[in-house]
Amino acid sequence: MAKNRKKKGPAPRKKTPTTPAPKKQQPAVDVKETGKKLKTGIITAIVVVVIIVGLLILALVLSNDSSGSQSSAEESTQSSLDSGESIIDETKTYYADIDIKDYGKITVELDPESAPKTVENFVKLANSKFYDGLTFHRIMEGFMMQGGQAKEGMEEPETIVGEFSSNGYNNTISHTRGTISMARTTDPNSASSQFFIVQKDSQHLDGDYAGFGHVTEGMDVVDKVCEDAKPTDDNGTIPENEQPIINSITIRTEDK
């Protein structure tokens, strides 16, 4: 709706002055002096224009250089990613603190020597906060607890190679109590974000699933989660409103 505007009335009439204003005396014109001033004015104007144009060109060049530097940095970063360069520092020991709502924290020491691509994928997802708010949706007491499935509407992470012996990789991690490993379908290279923590020794998984670390603290939390679980079928399916929530997964490192 248009704003209310005050209506303007007619302009007041000017009063006629009682005495006429005196006429200004016109100065005599000096042609030579006028020509000099005109020439000086033109030269000054040209100099000003040249300076302005020069400044604009300089600003444009600096802008292009800055943009070029930024593009080069972005291309360099992308090149590193495309080359498959690892983000894992071999001089560090990597830990993942898995904080579960109403239960507590599980600390896992990751093993990039046995499963480098798997650890790198897990670290990237954790650092991007992908896991925050996800759940453990499949739990079987006496076996394992599985979580990290993308919620509806979330973009599913890319799949990674299956780093286990039946897929041609030398991964010697055994699925004993406390091992963390990657879930997958029947496709050996289908793992992405879902992982599981073994509650009881399950060596029958060795060679077919990519173990990538071991629990160092918090097995009591694993036991409690598994004990409380009430799956609806023999596959360990947990009703959505009963799935333990992952508050966060935090990656930290220590010097070796």
Q: What does the pLDDT look like over 193-223, one tens digit per residue?
A: 999 999 999 999 999 999 999 999 999 999 9
Q: Residue 57's pLDDT is what? A: 75
What's phi and psi for 242, nearest 5 deg?
A: -115, 0
DSSP 149: P
Structural element, H or E, at residue 95: strand 92-100
Q: Would you say residue 30 has pLDDT above 60?
A: no
Instruction: Give the closest residue to 229 by CA, choosing from 105, 134, 139.
Output: 139
Q: Would you say residue 33 has pLDDT above 80?
A: no
Instruction: Give the closest residue to 157 by CA, choosing from 165, 148, 167, 169.
Output: 148
Instruction: Give the closest residue to 247 by CA, choosing from 119, 62, 106, 118.
Output: 106
Contact 162, 191 (CB under 8 A): yes
- What is the pLDDT confidence band of residue 62, given thresholds at 50, 70 and 90? low
Between the CA atoms of 162, 167, 173 and 175, what dihedral angle is there, to the nearest 10 degrees?
Answer: 80
Query: Helix %, strand %, coil % for the chain, to 5?
Result: 30, 20, 45
What rounded mean pLDDT belongs to the chain?
Answer: 82
Q: What does the pLDDT look like over 110-136, one tens digit per residue?
A: 999 999 999 999 999 999 999 999 999
Q: Domains (ranges, CATH) in the chain?
A: 92-255 (2.40.100.10)
- Residue 119 Cα distances to 96, 192, 199, angstroms: 10, 11, 20
